[in-house]
Amino acid sequence: MSASSSTPPLQAASTGYGVDPYHVPPPLYDPYKAQTGTPPYGSTTEYAPPPPPSYSTPVTPPPFGDTQPPLPSQRNQKKRTLVIVGIVVLALILVGEGFVLFSSSRPAPPKPQATATPAGVTPTAQQNQNPYGALGGTLVASDPMRDNSKGYKWDEATMNDDKNHSQQVCTFKDGAYHLTSSAKGGLICDPEAPALTISNLVFEANLTINKGNETGLTIRVDQTKATNYLFYIDTQGNYGIGIENPNAANQNDQYKSLNQGKNAAIKIGLNQSNLLAIAANGDTMSVYVNGQFVASVQDKTYSSGQIGIYAYGDTGCDIAVSNVRVWKL
């Protein structure tokens, strides 16, 4: 499980997201001096990220190799702290030149279109199929996220961050999985099941920002090194895809933005449920929001690792997670 106190516009300083959003990972430090609750499987370390929904037919991403160049950053860098539950390291994530979040207003997201069930295909069979592109794959995880009974070993822990005078928590409550921080900061919570350490996959989850600025999905997470790929959205309708490496000696290398921008498929504001998905096949990654294709990038930095959920807030956060599905490609 990863608790994070820095994220895409992330870094060590506090900045109100939604007004000035930009992401970049920050330096690591060992802030956790007290840890209560049941620690995640293995050692814990922090470092610096309803019924199944109906799916609209996702837009087919451009052919592999056609990647969209990142948008130019337009804001000053910010600092945030990120905790990854599962190891105990805290890393900062710079917000600015690296991650991308824009605060301009955005149009209302399009209404999802219902899709008919083909003759001879049961709703259950259709639900188990990968709806993103033509990658296929085998469904290896399907979890409503009401509790840990599915055996995926999602982190359940409480961590105290003395530096930021905050407490980060990964827990199941009120019929969903929650990532919370009592003060500025972020966290990444992971499932510790070995079967969910995957190279090529499609990872999907319903995420709701009840409080905070950003939420997202992480893949190819290495808890020992605190590295991962991050796909996030914020309450202003911005998204970003980036590489996190909080241990990099050069601060500019701690977070690298691969793509950023705004997208009409993102439901803006608090208490809005957004269905996020990321498909990773080799060095190509494609991201989706509410069944709509958003962007595709290519990068060879990381090849395998865990999955995780990311949360961040300038004054604290509460992210609710439901209906996680993972396909192995």
In a domain, 49, yes or no: yes
In tens digits, what is the pLDDT along the chain, a chain of 329 residues? 554 444 444 333 333 333 344 444 433 333 333 344 444 433 333 434 433 333 333 444 444 334 444 443 333 333 344 566 654 333 333 222 222 222 222 233 333 333 333 333 344 556 789 999 877 899 999 999 999 999 999 999 998 877 778 899 999 999 999 999 999 988 999 999 999 999 999 999 999 999 999 999 999 999 999 899 999 999 999 999 999 998 899 988 889 999 999 999 999 999 999 999 999 999 999 999 999 999 999 999 999 999 999 999 999 999 999 999 999 99
Q: Is 47 helix (H, G, I), strand (E, B) or coil?
A: coil
In a domain, 114, yes or no: no
For residue 141, give its domain range.
Answer: 2-107+124-328
In a domain, 118, yes or no: no
Write out the DSSP string of 184-244: SEEEEE-B--GGG-BSSEEEEEEEEEEESSEEEEEEEEETTTTEEEEEEEETTSEEEEEEE
pLDDT at residue 27, as a whole number:
38
Token pair 């009409």 in the structure block, residue: 264
Could you tell me if 95 and 9 are in contact, meaning their C-beta atoms sit under 8 angstroms apart?
A: yes
Q: How far apart are CA 111 and CA 103, in angstroms?
A: 22
Domain count of the fold of the chain = 1
pLDDT at residue 83, as a whole number:
60
In a domain, 112, yes or no: no
pLDDT at residue 157, as a whole number:
94
Residue 300, domain CATH: 2.60.120.560
Give φ, ψ of 95 to 5 degrees.
-115, 120
Q: Which two tokens stand for residue 82?
A: 């990120």
pLDDT at residue 49, as a whole number:
41
Q: How far apart are CA 46 and CA 83, in angstroms?
A: 4
In a domain, 113, yes or no: no
214's CB contacts (< 8 A; 6+ apart) are 7, 8, 9, 17, 21, 101, 186, 232, 233, 234, 235, 310, 311, 312, 313
Picking from 223, 267, 233, the residue whose alpha carbon sits closest to that of residue 112 is: 267
